[in-house]
Amino acid sequence: MSQKKKNNAYTDDTDKFARELQELVMEQIKKRYSETVIDHWQNPRNFIKLENPDGYALVKGSCGDTMEMFIKIKNDRISESGFQTDGCGTSIVCGSVATTLAQDKTFIEALAGVSADEILKILGGLPASDVHCAELAAETLRRALADYLYQKKTPWKKNYKRS
């Protein structure tokens, strides 16, 4: 057998092994996670750092993962939201869902509607060992909203100028 045929056979075997391993891993993931979790894991939404956000937060979770969230407000609604994390796949999934839930919501709607429970509901639940990721995403969004309030220029302050 020529060297080229040996290399092709080796490559074919390696490719076949990689495909089989990937299928096995996906089978295990599908047993543990819903299709929605897998979709947000493979196709995260809003995984972006927004420049000049109106609200920003950086939170470190109980597991050591950190998450950043960025929100922009236009016409009293969240017009853009983004997040970044150095965490696991489940942190990415939860950040994706949290920012998707917040999109086009008013401040109050986002504050009331984006919770760990709501994230878990949309995902069809998570294993107990991953629930803290939903809590991290919800808390990071709450803090970004709080930062927006802190940074917001309020009209009444114009009447109380310091001399």
Residue ranges making up the domain that contains 17: 3-32
CA 162 vs CA 34, 42, 151, 159: distances in Å: 57, 53, 19, 9
Q: Please tell me the distance from the alpha carbon of residue 65 to that of residue 133, in angstroms, as a whole number.
A: 9
Asked, for residue 88, whether it belongs to a domain, the answer is: yes
Provide the CB-side half-sphere exposure for 64 (13 A, CA): 1
Instruction: Say which residue the tokens 């965490």 belong to.
Output: 87
Q: What is the model's pLDDT at position 101?
A: 98
Q: What digits encode the pLDDT tens for the residues 59-100?
A: 999 999 999 999 999 999 999 999 999 999 999 999 999 999
Q: What digits encode the pLDDT tens for the residues 104-132?
A: 999 999 999 999 999 999 999 999 999 99
| Contacts of the segment 83-89: beta carbons below 8 A, 24+ positions apart | 83/46, 83/47, 83/48, 83/137, 83/140, 84/47, 84/48, 84/49, 87/61, 87/63, 87/133, 87/136, 88/130, 88/133, 89/41
Q: What digits encode the pLDDT tens for the residues 8-32?
A: 655 778 888 888 888 888 788 788 8
Asked, for residue 162, whether it belongs to a domain, the answer is: no
Residues 63 and 12 in one domain: no
Instruction: Say which residue the tokens 């056979």 belong to.
Output: 9
Residues 7 and 56 in one domain: no
Q: How many domains is the chain built from?
A: 2
Which residue type occupies 7? N
Q: Please tell me the distance from the alpha carbon of residue 78 to that of residue 112, in angstroms, as a whole number.
A: 14
Residues 66 and 144 in one domain: yes
pLDDT exceeds 60 at position 154? no
Asked, for residue 72, whether it belongs to a domain, the answer is: yes
CATH assignment of the domain containing 90: 3.90.1010.10
Asked, for residue 22, whether it belongs to a domain, the answer is: yes
Residues 63 and 23 in one domain: no
80 φ/ψ angles, rounded to the nearest 5 degrees: -145, 145
Query: Which of helix, strand or coil describes residue 162?
Result: coil
